[in-house]
């Protein structure tokens, strides 16, 4: 088994971006990310800390707007509109999930596609549907997975790829990006009848469900590449909280050819890709590419 070291790859990406940000600052363009956070969801706070650190590591400016859970859809959309108009802002990120009283699609719809560094707007998702040529601002986690596969020279074309999970943030865009690269893609989800019958066929198995130990060794083909995108906080044997993915890592790793650890696999790549998208937006908004 070989470990796919997302943390290491992400550091390389951040180093390259730091140079690019310096170059932009010399041209009096200071890439800046605006982040909207509603409430105090512990997972969101943890993600936001990681994103803020990556901004400080690369030299990207960070501005955070905090709201309490009582905020309305209209108030958030109105904030997004003002950020759309602000020439100093190059990326707008609305941290998900939003509370139940907010209609998230309406808030995301308000984001100007050129500043949509999460790649969640219908415009950017629709473009991505066409081909790799139109993958401009793509969702960061799927983009991170593709970059990891490319970094480790894992062939995608013609391979049997099974994606477990069909969320709008990860599963659906990831399946689309793999299809753009000519994989044979199967998407499984909570209503799939016999999950193991699909996962066992996978040359590349990508799992983004959020259920610890969903994937056991018996469900994985010998030598498969396993990309674990799950993030679960569970109580370890010592009673302390720990972070695990969706795979039974100890046993799946013995059967897999390559596997991503959790933490230190896809997570840091998501953050690095967000930084890439922010730099990309800053360049495009200034007609530099
Ligand atoms: N919540 C969980 N993942 C993400 C993400 O990639 N972007 C945003 N904005 N919220 C999230």
185 domain residue, yes or no: yes
Shortest CA distance to 58 belongs to which of 46, 50, 69, 68?
50
Ligand 1 mean position, distance from CA 97 (Å): 7
User: Which residues have C-beta atoms less than 6 Å from ligand 1?
Assistant: 93-96, 118, 140-141, 169, 270
13 domain residue, yes or no: no
pLDDT at 77: 98
The residues near 176 (Cβ < 8 Å, ≥ 6 apart) are 128, 129, 142
Query: 198 and 262: one domain?
Result: yes
The closest-lying atom of ligand 1 relative to the alpha carbon of residue 93 is 9
Ligand 1 mean position, distance from CA 141 (Å): 9
Closest residue (by CA) to atom 11 of ligand 1?
96
Query: 185 and 230: one domain?
Result: yes
Write down the catalytic residue from 118, 228, 246, 248. 118
Ligand 1 mean position, distance from CA 169 (Å): 7
279 domain residue, yes or no: no
At 68 the three-state DSSP class reads coil
- The number of distinct structural domains making up the chain is 2
Is 118 one of the annotated active-site residues of the chain?
Answer: yes
Q: pLDDT tens for residues 205-249?
A: 999 999 999 999 999 999 999 999 999 999 988 999 999 999 999
Query: 152 and 257: one domain?
Result: yes
Q: pLDDT tens for residues 118-149?
A: 999 999 999 999 999 999 999 999 999 999 99
Query: 146 and 102: one domain?
Result: no
Query: 144 and 258: one domain?
Result: yes
Ligand 1 mean position, distance from CA 96 (Å): 5
86 domain residue, yes or no: yes
Ligand 1 mean position, distance from CA 197 (Å): 30
Q: What is the CATH number of the domain that holds 39?
A: 3.40.50.10860
The closest-lying atom of ligand 1 relative to the alpha carbon of residue 44 is 1
Q: pLDDT tens for residues 45-104?
A: 999 999 999 999 999 999 999 999 999 999 999 999 999 999 999 999 999 999 999 999
Query: 149 and 35: one domain?
Result: no
Q: What is the CATH number of the domain that holds 234?
A: 3.40.50.720
134 domain residue, yes or no: no
Contact 90, 285 (CB under 8 A): yes
Query: 162 and 227: one domain?
Result: yes
The closest-lying atom of ligand 1 relative to the alpha carbon of residue 95 is 9
Is 147 one of the annotated active-site residues of the chain?
Answer: no
Query: 156 and 244: one domain?
Result: yes
**Pocket-testing residue among 35, 140, 169, ligand 1, by greatest number of atoms within 8 A of Cβ:** 169
Query: 174 and 108: one domain?
Result: no
74 domain residue, yes or no: yes
Where are any strands of DSSP class E within 56-152? 61-67, 91-94
pLDDT at 57: 98
pLDDT at 5: 98
- Planar angle of CA 18, 20, 26, nearest 5 degrees: 105
Ligand 1 mean position, distance from CA 274 (Å): 10
Write down the catalytic residue from 20, 32, 79, 95. 95
User: Average model confidence (pLDDT) for the chain?
Assistant: 98
Closest residue (by CA) to atom 4 of ligand 1?
96
203 domain residue, yes or no: yes
Is 127 one of the annotated active-site residues of the chain?
Answer: no
219 domain residue, yes or no: yes
Rounded-to-5 percentages of helix, strand, coil across the chain = 45, 15, 40
pLDDT at 1: 73
The closest-lying atom of ligand 1 relative to the alpha carbon of residue 141 is 6
Final residue before a domain boundary, out of 112, 127, 161:
112
The closest-lying atom of ligand 1 relative to the alpha carbon of residue 270 is 6
Query: 143 and 262: one domain?
Result: yes
pLDDT at 283: 98
Question: What is this structure's pTM?
Answer: 0.97
Query: 161 and 237: one domain?
Result: yes
Closest residue (by CA) to atom 2 of ligand 1?
96
Percent of the chain with pLDDT over 90: 99
Contact 64, 92 (CB under 8 A): no
Has residue 43 got a pLDDT over 90? yes
Has residue 289 got a pLDDT over 90? no
Q: Which domain holds residue 100?
A: 28-112
Query: 253 and 158: one domain?
Result: yes
Mean pLDDT, rounded, for 184-194: 98
């Amino acid at each position: 088994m070989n470990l796919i070291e997302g943390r290491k790859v992400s550091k390389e990406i951040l180093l390259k971006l730091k140079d690019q940000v310096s170059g932009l600052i010399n041209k009096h363009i200071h890439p800046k990310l605006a982040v909207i956070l509603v409430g105090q969801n512990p997972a969101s706070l943890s993600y936001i800390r990681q994103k803020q650190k990556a901004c400080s590591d690369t030299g990207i400016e960070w501005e955070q707007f905090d709201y309490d859970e009582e905020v309305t859809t209209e108030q958030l959309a109105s904030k997004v509109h003002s950020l759309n108009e602000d020439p100093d802002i190059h990326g707008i990120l609305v941290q998900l999930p939003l509370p139940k009283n907010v209609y998230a699609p309406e808030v995301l719809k308000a984001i100007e596609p050129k500043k949509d560094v999460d790649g969640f707007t219908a415009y950017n998702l629709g473009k991505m549907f066409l081909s790799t040529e139109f993958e401009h601002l793509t969702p960061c986690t799927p983009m991170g997975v593709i970059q990891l596969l490319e970094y480790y020279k894992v062939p995608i074309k013609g391979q049997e790829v099974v994606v477990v999970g069909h969320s709008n943030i990860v599963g659906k865009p990831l399946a689309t990006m793999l299809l753009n690269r000519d994989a044979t893609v199967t998407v499984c989800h909570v209503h799939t009848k016999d999950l193991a019958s699909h996962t066992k066929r996978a040359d590349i198995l990508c799992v983004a469900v959020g259920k610890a130990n969903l994937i056991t060794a018996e469900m994985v083909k010998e030598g498969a590449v396993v990309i674990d995108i799950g993030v679960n906080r569970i109580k370890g044997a010592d009673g302390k909280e720990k972070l695990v993915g969706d795979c039974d890592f100890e046993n799946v790793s013995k059967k897999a050819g390559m596997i991503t650890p959790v933490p230190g696999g896809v997570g840091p790549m998501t953050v690095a890709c967000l930084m890439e998208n922010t730099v990309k937006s800053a360049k495009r908004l200034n007609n530099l590419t």
